[in-house]
Every structure is written in structure tokens, then in C-alpha cells.
Amino acid sequence: MLDLNITLLFQLVNFFIAVFLLNVLLIRPVREILKKRQQIVDTMAGDAESFESRAEQKLADYDAQLKAARQEASLARQTGREEGIAEQHNLLATAQNEARAIVDQARVSLQKEADATMAALRSEVGTLSQKIADRLVQG
């Protein structure tokens, strides 16, 4: 059987003193360290989530800017083509007008030369017919 005597009381007192000292010297500091570590881990997890969301937002912004730049480049290319075609039509029309003007000038010049030549021939027709008539009469 179990004897209940004074040593049991001393052992109980020693046990409670040991528990109290272990709690003060070991368990509380370890709990505080664990709390601090958990806070650090929670903070880091929050920072990681924040960083990840900012990275996703930046990636989305970059994609949007890239898409806008591609659309702008496409629009600029299309505008450039349209302007080039319009300029080509203008240059072609100008060249055709200049060619027509040169041809018209050449026609007018040739017509004047033809008229002058005809006038010179008409003025010489009388003299030439007189000479021919004189030769026929002499001949």
C-alpha cells in the first residue's frame, strides 16, 4: 500500500516548484518565441500575397500596354498605307496633268509650225507655178 507521510508532501511541493520554475524559465519564453515566429511567418505570407498580387497587376498592366501599343502600331501602319496611296494618286494625277500639258504644248507647237510651213508654201506656190509655167512655155 501507499504510505501517506511527509515525504509525499515534500515531493508535491518540489513538483509544483519545478513546474513553476520550468514555466517561468522555459515554457513562457518558448511560447513568446513561437508567437514571434508565427507573427513573422504571417507577415511574410501577407507580404508574399501582396507581392504576388502586385506582380499579377503589373503583368496585366504590361499586357494591356502591349496590346494598346500593337493596336496603335496597326493603326499607324494602316494610316501610313492610306496616306501613301493618297500621295501615290496625287503624284500620278500630277504626272498625268503634266504629261497632258506637254503633249498639248507639243501639239500647239507642231500646229504652229505646220501653219507656218503651209503659209510659207502658199506664198511660194505662186512663184513656183510662175516658174513652172515659164519653163513649160519655154520648153
Distance CA 64, CA 57 (A): 10
Q: What is the pLDDT of residue 124?
A: 82
| pLDDT, tens only, 128-138 | 788 888 888 88
| Confidence band, pLDDT 50/70/90 cuts, at residue 100 | very high
- C-alpha cell, 94: 500630277
Q: 5: phi > 0 → left, psi -120 to 50 → alpha, else beta; which? A: beta
Q: What does the pLDDT look like over 23-79, one tens digit per residue?
A: 999 999 999 999 999 999 999 999 999 999 999 999 999 999 999 999 999 999 999
Predicted TM-score (pTM) of this structure:
0.46
Distance of CA 130 to the CA centre of its chain: 88
User: Does the pLDDT of residue 139 top 70, yes or no?
Assistant: no
